[in-house]
Each structure stands twice: as structure tokens, then as C-alpha cells.
Structure 1
């Protein structure tokens, strides 16, 4: 959405001066790019998801949008309804500043809408433009964040209706959530004058590795399942260190992931 990373003199955001020093854009300048790019990307992925789902645009009853890398109003949730020509009665919800795990509360919200209204068809869109908040300094937190977090957008259609036999679909059986309070000080994100400032220490993988197995045992208890009974796992990585600690600190069959 910006030409900065393919431009020899810098692009529209991270401009490079005559001495070869890149600029440090303000939060407002970064957010202005988010305002434009988030709309375009959200509509694009939603249109593709809708086309592949077998549902018509008239079927959509709710829109759930999640992002933590920018703020704008009217936001992408508004333009999803308008640019996709959805019904004006579509209910819109935004989940903000929860981080990369926001996709799960977004899907959970969609599932709850479908449980409450059997005719509900929910469009879920998650979008993050992390490179807008790239910090050009040598702080360990900044370098780690710059190397880990990238840009992306994805969409899904959630419905209680029986899926078409000629369309791929997943069945959502349930959700569970838990807190690991000891990680509170190790990962945080604040709005600064020059983008969003992240705090991300090297202890995050250690905390997850130590807490994951007892945490998963508690979360699986309502389904009367053990970790060993789950045949396939999809782990949100957050870096190689987290994957290594998950494998070492758990009884999961990680070689199958």
C-alpha cells in the first residue's frame, strides 16, 4: 500500500533525506496510510471470502472487524457494508487493540451471533498493518517487533446454516480462554508520538513454554479431552522461540503440526 520498501530514496512515509537518514513519521502520518489501506484491503479480502463461500451479499447479517494497528471512523466496518453493497441493516462491530489474538474473539463473537440467531451469516475481517509502526532505532524491543510482525488481512464467513457440499468448511465446536498474568509486563503496546511503541521481551517464549501444558489441560476439561487425544494442532508462532518452547514444554504431538 506504500512504496517505501521498493523505493531507493524512501517512499511516501519513511522518506530519506540527502544524508541518507530515513524520517520518523508521526502517528498521524502513519494512521493516515492505515485509513486508506485498511479500507482497500478489508473490502478486497471480504469480497474474495464472500465469493468462495456460496453465500450472497444479501445473506450477510453481521460484520465483525478486528485490528490493532490503526484507528479511523468511519472505519473499515462501515466501508465493508457500503462498498460490498450489503444490506443497510447489517450490524457492525469493531474489536480493537487486542493484538494478533483478536481473530479468536472475533470468531467467537460471530459464533455467538449464530447461536442466538440461526439465520445469521457473519462476515469476519481481521487486518493488521504492523509495518506502519516500524521503529528505526536500535532498541531490542523495536528490532524484535520489526522482525516479527508484518502486514496481513483475512476474512471468513461464519454461519449456523448447513454448508454447501461443494464448498470447503470448518465446524466450530467451541472456544475457551484463560489468562497468564505473569506475562503482563513482558508484552505491551502503547500509542506513541511516532507510531505505536511495543514492549516485547525475550521472556515471552519462556513464560508460554512453562504455562502451556497445565493451561491446555484446564481449557480442554469441559470437552473431557486430554492433549494427547488431539490429533492436529495449529499454533500461532510469534517467532521460532515460541514454537521451540511449545514443543519442549508440552505433551503435544508437535511433529504433526
Structure 2
């Protein structure tokens, strides 16, 4: 028995924005004072992000030609949650299909899939994305469907864990995971510390993963070896995600990196205890880049170098934090560099509301 990742695909919307241009848009569109503008621009420069993607093209337009945001912001509320959800429903499916298409690459038959797991915390509707994917991809009508909603940045890790359990019980199973997040739909107008930090980090993206109960002898795979999780209740109020009247509202305090730093060693020890390994046995790291300070905190606590964690920094630089698909972007990059090298161990971490820490150990085949 076992569970193996046989393919990972990623996708981003067509609209690619420089971080400095997004900072300028925020300064202008949120009607900030000079001190507020300076604070925002300093924060945006410090993120380590060069570019981010969005399904919205308003960020390259001027007021009067917006299609999503109000054209007279001083007289109107920002888009309602209803409008944001309608936009999510319109934009999420094509992006998800792009990720699936890249993932499958003509090497998999859609009729082979026995299970579909969709992951998202930036939009919900019913019948949902899972049903739309079944129809759009012509998946089997009796495919087993699960949706992980509103779990945040670590949810794709949970989807992989569930897939491992499915494959352990059903060796013939083939699971398709589809994670899609449209974080840019939830810009908030109020100038608060939480909003300022969230606006500087988050972006849109999608990823798809194929997990099989049987190793493919003709193609490299990633064996899912083990997992561990840790809930840090002292961070319960420092990372949260609430549904408001005008979009989803994030609580994201500056204390998050320190809280993660305080719990990451315990999580790693728990995983290593299961596998009789130690940090020196790990060949590569695939860490969710929740932010530059989070990455630095983990490196400091686990004693790993920035060079060992370079895939996370590169993903953050080129895409920002896309919530749940982000760690899959990192894992895809790390795996691509090790595909020709069997028995390499990859340690992955992701974090989210709760405050929740998740870990997975992979081995190349």
C-alpha cells in the first residue's frame, strides 16, 4: 500500500502586475494620506515580491473604466460579497481547468479518476467548483467528490493527506486535487494593519495534483511518506478569515512569524519521530512562503539556510502568496530539480488559520 504524486500542474491568470505598480494603485485608489502612502510603499518593498497575478484587470485601469471596483469610491461601497462571489464563480473554473490541463499533459485519461478533491477559501457556491469541474472535464458522474473550503493556506496539505488515506484503503484509486484561490477579489477599503499586510502579499493562482495508489514504473513519482500537524491555540486570533458584507476579511497580525517559530520545531520533531529521521536527513525543502519573515523564522528555528529554502523565496518573488496552491508551486519546483534522483527526501510545511501548522514528508522514486 502507498500513495504517490505522479503529476503537479500550476496556472495563473493573464493579468501580471509588478509589486510597485500595485502599491501605486493602492495609494491612489484608497485615497491614502501621505504618511499612509509612505507606510504602504515601504511594506510592499519589504515583502520580497516582484510580481503577482490577478483575475482582475482593474489594476491597470484608471477610475472611470473599472469593471469590478467602484468608479467613484468616495461615494460608493466596495463590491458586495455577492458581487465578489459571482466574479469568483466566473473566473475560478477557467483557471482551475488551466492547472488541470498542465498537470495531466496528455498522460492521464480523465476516466481513470475515482476521486476529486477541490480546495478553496476565497469563494464558495453550490453546486460548486467540484460539480463544474466534473461537467467541464467530462469526469465520471459517479466520481467521489470532496471539497475543502475556508481552511486557508495549508488546505492543499490536508487534501494530499486525505488522498493518501484513500489510496491506502483503495490501491486502485486515482485522485485529482484541484486548488484554486482568487485572493485579489477581497481587497478591503479600510486602512488597517491587517488589511495593509494582506494587500501586500496575496495573489491569484491554481494548482492540480494527481495522486495514485500505485507507483508508475515508467515515470518519476513522489511517494507520500508521512504527515504531522500542530494546532497553536495561542495564535487563534492572529490569523483568521471572516465573511463580511463586502468580501472576506482577513486578520493577519505581525506576530504570526514568531508564533510559527515557536511551534515549528515541535511539529518537525513529531514528524521525525514517526519516520526515524532528523533534519540532516532531508535533501530539500518545500515550505509555504506565507511571507518573508515566516520563512526566516523557520530557517532560524530549524537551522536551515536561505539557500536550502530557495524554492520558497523564488515562488514568493514571482507569484506572491496565493494561499492554498502556493505550497504546490514550491513543491513542483523542488520536485522538478530532483526527478532524476531517486530516494531524495523532501520536507514540506504550510500554515493557516487556527493557527495551524501542517507538514508532509515526500520521497522521490
What is the TM-score with the length of structure 1 in the denominator?
0.92
Measured in 1, the distance between the counterparts of 2:99 and 2:270 equals 35
Say whether residues 1:11 and 2:11 are aligned partners. no
Structure 1 spans left out of the alignment, 5+ residues = none
Residue 236 of structure 1 corresponds to which residue in structure 2? 288
Say whether residues 1:203 and 2:255 are aligned partners. yes
Residue 63 of structure 1 corresponds to which residue in structure 2? 116
Distance 1:22 1:147, change over 3 A: farther
Bigger CA drift: 104-113 or 228-237?
Answer: 228-237
Residue 161 of structure 1 corresponds to which residue in structure 2? 214
Deviations 1:42-95 (A, max 9, x none): 22212321235x221110111000000111112111111111111111111100
SS at the partner of 2:260? helix
SS at the partner of 2:222? coil
SS at the partner of 1:125? strand
SS at the partner of 2:307? helix
Measured in 1, the distance between the counterparts of 2:198 and 2:179 equals 19
Residue 102 of structure 2 corresponds to which residue in structure 1? 48
Kindly indicate whether the alpha-carbon contact (under 8 Å) linking 1:228 and 1:253 is maintained by their aligned counterparts in 2.
no
Matched residues, number: 254
Kindly indicate whether structure 1 or structure 2 has the higher relative contact order, using CA contacts under 8 Å at least 6 residues apart: 2
Residue 125 of structure 1 corresponds to which residue in structure 2? 178
Q: How far has the Cα of 1:137 moved from its partner?
A: 2.6
SS at the partner of 1:24? coil
Say whether residues 1:182 and 2:229 are aligned partners. no
Kindly indicate whether the alpha-carbon contact (under 8 Å) linking 2:96 and 2:206 is maintained by their aligned counterparts in 1.
yes
Measured in 2, the distance between the counterparts of 1:44 and 1:22 equals 35
Distance 1:87 1:181, change over 3 A: same
Distance 1:50 1:191, change over 3 A: same
Measured in 2, the distance between the counterparts of 1:125 and 1:91 equals 14
Distance 1:227 1:254, change over 3 A: farther
Deviations 1:185-219 (A, max 9, x none): 11111100111111111000111122222331122
SS at the partner of 1:25? coil
Q: How far has the Cα of 1:21 moved from its partner?
A: 7.2
Measured in 1, the distance between the counterparts of 2:301 and 2:199 equals 27
Measured in 2, the distance between the counterparts of 1:160 and 1:12 equals 45
Q: How far has the Cα of 1:139 moved from its partner?
A: 0.5
Residue 81 of structure 1 corresponds to which residue in structure 2? 134
Q: How far has the Cα of 1:168 moved from its partner?
A: 4.1
Measured in 2, the distance between the counterparts of 1:182 and 1:149 equals 24
Measured in 1, the distance between the counterparts of 2:126 and 2:101 equals 21
Q: How far has the Cα of 1:22 moved from its partner?
A: 7.6
Of 149, 153, 156, 1:96 maps to 149
Say whether residues 1:111 and 2:164 are aligned partners. yes
Kindly indicate whether the alpha-carbon contact (under 8 Å) linking 2:120 and 2:152 is maintained by their aligned counterparts in 1.
yes
Residue 28 of structure 1 corresponds to which residue in structure 2? 82
Bigger CA drift: 54-63 or 223-232?
Answer: 223-232
Structure 2 spans left out of the alignment, 5+ residues = 1-54, 310-365
